[in-house]
Amino acid sequence: MSSTTPDAAFVRAGTPVEDREEKTSRRELNKLATRAAIIEAAVNLLSEHGLGGFTAEDLADAAGISRRTFFNYFPSPEAALAATVQIFLDGAIEEFRNRPHQESVLDSAIAAVTALVEPGALSRMARVCLLTENQPQVQRWQLMAWDEATGKLSAAAVERLGTEADPFFVRTMVGAIIGAGKAAMEFWLEHEAPRNGEVTDAHSAALRRLITQALQHLRNGFA
């Protein structure tokens, strides 16, 4: 009976493990690029035609993919639009994870929002939220993105505080942080968002400022 391991057989067949890993990495990068292209196309079509003014087929064509490929990534155009919220929140949480662990959780959350280096993620999210305001078919997906961020931020907070941290404390704190972000977005939509739907750098900066201020209120105990 042969003692050849599967990896050894793979290498002997002429495809080294390193090549296999490189192909996997390249495949994952291609998937990320396709997903980004779909989201960008969805935002552009929303800006041009409004919600309901384009179909999944239109979106697939604009992204340069087939309809079948589109549905491999998203169940609907509304879900693709709501992914802008997930991208922004994931970026902020990644910034949070990279903050010094001796920093307080709220200081790290504030710094993460302030230092988020990809301003396009914030502006895309702001534009979609503005153009889909009061549209329940998109808001349902957006709320799911906020809920998923709650779980991700909770996990990041436990990494920071340790597994012995009081779970009720973590849940309350993370809920307050996520709630502050939502409140800032709602206030921006009501008072500072452009009525013509054109989100400029100044509008994005105003939203970032509101999110930061909301978190500062939490840190300062609303004093």
pLDDT (tens digit, 9 = 90+) per residue, 77-110?
999 999 999 999 999 999 999 999 999 999 999 9
Q: What is the mean pLDDT of the chain?
A: 89
Residue 135 is predicted with a pLDDT of 94
Report the candidate in 78, 53, 68, 70 with the shortest Cα–Cα distance to residue 144: 78
Average pLDDT on 184-196 reads 95
Pinpoint the alpha helices (H) of 50-163. Answer: 56-63, 67-73, 77-97, 105-115, 119-131, 136-161
- Tell me the pLDDT tens digit for each residue of 122-131: 999 999 999 9
Residue 100, SS3 per DSSP: coil
- Tell me the pLDDT tens digit for each residue of 38-67: 999 999 999 999 999 999 999 999 999 999
Q: Which long-range contacts (CB under 8 A, 24 or more apart) does 45-52 make?
A: 45/77, 46/81, 46/127, 46/128, 46/131, 46/132, 47/127, 47/131, 47/197, 50/131, 51/78, 51/81, 51/131, 51/132, 51/135, 51/137, 51/138
Which residue ranges form the domains of the chain, and what is each CATH number?
A: 16-74 (1.10.10.60), 77-223 (1.10.357.10)
Residue 107 is predicted with a pLDDT of 96
pLDDT of 147 > 50? The answer is: yes
Of 13-27, 71-85, 154-168, 175-189, the one with minimum mean pLDDT is 13-27
Average pLDDT on 104-123 reads 87
pLDDT of 153 > 90? The answer is: yes
Average pLDDT on 174-201 reads 94
Token pair recorded at residue 66: 């087939």
71: number of CA atoms within 13 Å, CB side?
5
Token pair recorded at residue 175: 């809920």
The percent of residues above 70 in pLDDT, for the chain, comes to 88
Q: Phi/psi at 74 (nearest 5 deg)?
A: -140, 145
Report the candidate in 168, 170, 151 with the shortest Cα–Cα distance to residue 160: 170
| Amino acid letter, 141 | W
pLDDT band at 114, cuts 50/70/90?
confident
pLDDT of 17 > 70? The answer is: no
Angle CA(43)–CA(49)–CA(51) in degrees, nearest 5?
70
Query: How many residues are there in the chain?
Result: 223
